[in-house]
Structure 1
Amino acid sequence: MWAWAAKALLAGAMIAAIAELGRRLPTFAALVASLPLVSVLGMIFLWHARPDAENMARHGEATFWYVLPSLPMFLVIPVLLRHGVPFWLSLTLGCLLTVILYGLLRLVAPRFGLPI
């Protein structure tokens, strides 16, 4: 239980730090946010819980494929905002697009032998 709480606090502290940094240096905060810190920490925690090379390899490979459908969101939201769409609606539409793309990936991936 303590390990779970420590992981949650660490993730929360990372998000809070990026948000604070973003108030002063938005582009640098975006760089920090784009780093795969959560994925790397997740891999470390997963390895600690189950040090299995094949399991870790599957996890890393699946993470790669799941990142791809999330990328268009980071283009759609700025376009919507610059066209006067309110922030919350832009964010919702960007997230909805990501969910749809995740669904499409899940449908298409087996046809190409992708490991997800």
Structure 2
Amino acid sequence: MWQIIAKAALAGAMIAAIAEIGKRLPAMAALVASLPLVSVLGMLFLWRARPDTENMARHSEATFWFVLPSLPMFLAIPMMLRAGMPFWLSLTLGCALTVGLYLLMVQFGPRIGIRL
């Protein structure tokens, strides 16, 4: 149980650090947020729980393919904000776009040979 609490505290600390950095240096916060820290930590925790090379390879590869559908959100949100849309609506629509693209990836990825 303490491991779950430690993982949650670490994730929370990362998010808090990004928010604090972003108050003064938005580009630096974006850089920190873009680092694959969560993925690397997830791989470390997964390896510790199940040190299986093939499982880790599949996890890493699937992570790559699932990052791609999330990227358009980071262009759509600033476009909507600059067009005068409210922040919460822009964020909601950006997230909805990402969910839609994830669903497309899950549906069509395996059909074109992508292992998820």
TM-score above 0.5, yes or no: yes
Per-residue CA deviations over 1:52-106 (Å, capped at 9, x if unaligned) read 0000000000000000000000000000000100000000000000000001111
Using the TM superposition, give the Cα deviation of residue 42 of structure 1 relative to its aligned residue in structure 2, in angstroms: 0.2
Aligned residues: 116
> Which amino acid counterpart does residue 54 of structure 1 have in structure 2?
E
**What's 1:2 paired with?**
2
Using the TM superposition, give the Cα deviation of residue 113 of structure 1 relative to its aligned residue in structure 2, in angstroms: 1.3
**What's 1:85 paired with?**
85
Using the TM superposition, give the Cα deviation of residue 112 of structure 1 relative to its aligned residue in structure 2, in angstroms: 1.1
Percent identity for Structure 1 against Structure 2:
74
CA distance in 2 between counterparts of 1:10 and 1:55 reads 24
CA distance in 1 between counterparts of 2:38 and 2:63 reads 11
- Tell me the TM-score normalized by structure 2: 0.99
> Which amino acid counterpart does residue 106 of structure 1 have in structure 2?
V
Using the TM superposition, give the Cα deviation of residue 3 of structure 1 relative to its aligned residue in structure 2, in angstroms: 0.3
CA distance in 1 between counterparts of 2:15 and 2:100 reads 25
Using the TM superposition, give the Cα deviation of residue 29 of structure 1 relative to its aligned residue in structure 2, in angstroms: 0.4
Matched ranges for 1:15-26 at <5 A: 15-26=15-26
Structure 2 gap ranges (5+)? none
CA distance in 2 between counterparts of 1:109 and 1:30 reads 28
Give RMSD over aligned pairs. 0.4
CA distance in 2 between counterparts of 1:47 and 1:4 reads 15
**What's 1:35 paired with?**
35
Per-residue CA deviations over 1:16-45 (Å, capped at 9, x if unaligned) read 000000000000100000000000000000
Structure 1 gap ranges (5+)? none
CA distance in 2 between counterparts of 1:35 and 1:110 reads 27
Runs of 4+ in structure 1 off by over 4 angstroms are none
1:106 aligns with 2:106: yes
CA distance in 1 between counterparts of 2:13 and 2:106 reads 32
> Which amino acid counterpart does residue 62 of structure 1 have in structure 2?
A
